[in-house]
Amino acid sequence: MTLIDGKAIAQEVRHEIRAEVAEWVAAGHEAPGLATVLVGDDPASAVYVGGKQKACAEVGMRGFDHRLAADTSEDEVKRLLHQLNEDPAVSGILLQLPPPPHIDGPKLTEEIAPGKDVDGLTPISTGLLHKNLPGLRPCTPLGCMELLKRHDVDLQGAEAVVVGRSDLVGKPISALLLQANATVTTAHSRTKDLAEVCRRADVLVAAVGVTHLIKGDWVKEGAVVIDVGMNRLDGKLTGDVEFEAASERARLITPVPGGVGPMTIAMLLRNTLQAAKAAAAA
Amino acid sequence: MTLIDGKAIAQEVRHEIRAEVAEWVAAGHEAPGLATVLVGDDPASAVYVGGKQKACAEVGMRGFDHRLAADTSEDEVKRLLHQLNEDPAVSGILLQLPPPPHIDGPKLTEEIAPGKDVDGLTPISTGLLHKNLPGLRPCTPLGCMELLKRHDVDLQGAEAVVVGRSDLVGKPISALLLQANATVTTAHSRTKDLAEVCRRADVLVAAVGVTHLIKGDWVKEGAVVIDVGMNRLDGKLTGDVEFEAASERARLITPVPGGVGPMTIAMLLRNTLQAAKAAAAA
């Protein structure tokens, strides 16, 4: 078994992006800019936003860190988003979710211009993904694909099983695997014999958010296992897969933490750069 | 084996729509209106458009039958679509594909307002489908689901296999089956052992457009088979499934012709009515 070192791969990607940004700027372009919008003072959200802004700065991108009071009205947030849509210095916009309860986060996200939707979560970005048209894809699914790519996992005709069907991870990763020519099964809480379904997977992606739902003996000998789960168990971060038992059978497996997690911000940076280049070409 | 009589079910649906339209009009609303736009004089396309307009009239809807010369510019078509978007008498708009080669059909389709996209094929409609948000779904996949529903096929946890991944049929039907809580596998030309994948299907949907690609012995005993194929073989219309051999094993199966085919227009009518009601509620 080989461990998929998401931390190291994310670092590699970030180095590449830094070089690409430097090249872009050297060619006379403005540095790409990422605007983050945080409403309220949820401490976890503040940490996430801080991490994204820091990552931005490290690769030479500009950051626009908008923090609004918890009682900001939906209309005010909408106005800010429209302003950022119009601002040529802003390549990508990210509305940190969840906002305070009086604000409909997913609905507000739809106000972000498709070309700046670096989270890739609006209906139009979702449509472009499923129709395989150019557009911005969600970051965590992109991160999973990048891990597979860096390990040269052959997806052509591979049996891929995705457990979970969230808009954020399960469904988009199924779409990306399908585009990579895998035969893709999407399984979920209503799946009748989840063990059997998992056992046929050459590539098994777990994205349900239930600690150790996927048992070690559900992993086919020689399979590749991507664990997107981020669950708390006795104060420790754990995945959806019984890691110890699964590693005895898997050929490649992501640990939690240090697997998929670090890839999300790396892919956000890549999306921001892609958005900047697409805007310049338009 | 029981035959799924698409012709009879489509007729049933059309009767229901006619009653619902009458009720809608009796309640003081305008009759829903379907605008079809045909560019050029492809005879097959003219027949399709004629069929849709006729079906419209039969259920008491208004038809707006726009026929443009083959040399109409993309800009002129775009202007017409925008005009139809603004016209309150028009509930649904359908741009008949394929247009003449100088016109980018799928691109032009994107000009149709999401609320009037009764073909359900624009990126935004695709996004709404995959995010399970309210919107208009593509007609042929809806027709397949309706056939399953009228036969009380239990999809909860069922193993569904969709062969084919087109934007028009394969991918949207996979999404609809997933929403109905089936465990969904999308297979295609790169699938390694298609026979084995098909054999695990409780519900098998064939949507590839290759005559008799799906062999009779790939059908699990007691499975439900939906054949979306419409292929010409020796001047006769045939499906993607070896019908004779498959019927010996299937519990329910659609014939070709007379299975899925007649459902498409019925679902187009239903979409038009749905669009009219949504517009009135907005």
Q: pLDDT for B35-84, tens place per residue?
A: 999 999 999 999 999 999 999 999 999 999 999 999 999 999 999 999 99
Report pLDDT for A1.
86
Instruction: Give φ, ψ of B2 to 5 degrees.
Output: -115, 135
Task: Express each pLDDT in B248-269 by its tens digit.
Answer: 999 999 999 999 999 999 999 9
- The 3-class SS string of chain A reads CEECCHHHHHHHHHHHHHHHHHHHHHCCCCCCEEEEEEECCCHHHHHHHHHHHHHHHHCCCEEEEEEECCCCCHHHHHHHHHHHHHCCCCCEEEECCCCCCCCCHHHHHCCCCHHHECCCCCHHHHHHHHCCCCCCCCHHHHHHHHHHHHCCCCCCCCEEEEECCCCCCHHHHHHHHHHCCCEEEEECCCCCCHHHHHHCCCEEEECCCCCCCECHHHCCCCCEEEECCCEEECCEEECCECHHHHHCCCCEECCCCCCCCCHHHHHHHHHHHHHHHHHHHC
Q: What is the C-alpha separation between B273 and B281, in angstroms, rounded? A: 12
Portion of chain A with pLDDT greater than 70, in percent: 100
Quote the distance between the C-alpha of residue B166 and its chain's center. Answer: 12
Which one of A125, A159, A197 has the shortest CB-CB distance to B183?
A197
pLDDT-based confidence at residue A51 (cuts at 50, 70, 90): very high
- Is the pLDDT score of A187 beyond 90? yes
pTM of the predicted protein model? 0.97
Per-residue pLDDT reduced to its tens digit, A241-269: 999 999 999 999 999 999 999 999 999 99
Instruction: Kindly state the average pLDDT of the residues A141-148.
Output: 98
Give pLDDT, residue A27.
98
Q: How many CB atoms lie within 10 A of CB B220?
A: 20
Determine, for residues A165 and B178 on separate chains, whether the beta-carbon distance falls below 8 Å: yes
CA distance B236 to chain A (A): 32
- Phi, psi for residue B129 in degrees, rounded to 5: -60, -55
**Chain A interface, mutation test: which of B126, B177, B192, B198, most A Cβ atoms within 10 Å?**
B126
Give residue B1's pLDDT: 86
Predicted confidence at residue A117, as pLDDT, reads: 98
Residues facing A106 on adjacent strands: none
A183/B192 CB distance under 8 A: yes
Check whether the bond before B257 is cis (ω within 30° of 0).
Answer: yes
Q: Are B163 and B187 in contact (CB under 8 A)?
A: yes
Centroid of chain to Cα B61: 19
B94-131 pLDDT per residue, tens: 999 999 999 999 999 999 999 999 999 999 999 999 99
Mean pLDDT across the stretch A211-224? 98
ipTM: 0.96
Chain B contact residues (CB < 8 Å to A):
122-133, 156-159, 165, 167, 171, 174-175, 178, 181, 183-188, 190-192, 197
> Does A131 or A1 have the greater pLDDT score?
A131
The residues of B carrying an active-site annotation are: 52, 96, 119
- Residue B270 burial (CB < 10 Å; 0-12/13-18/19+)? buried
Q: B183 contacts in A (CB within 8 Å)?
A: 185-188, 190-192, 197
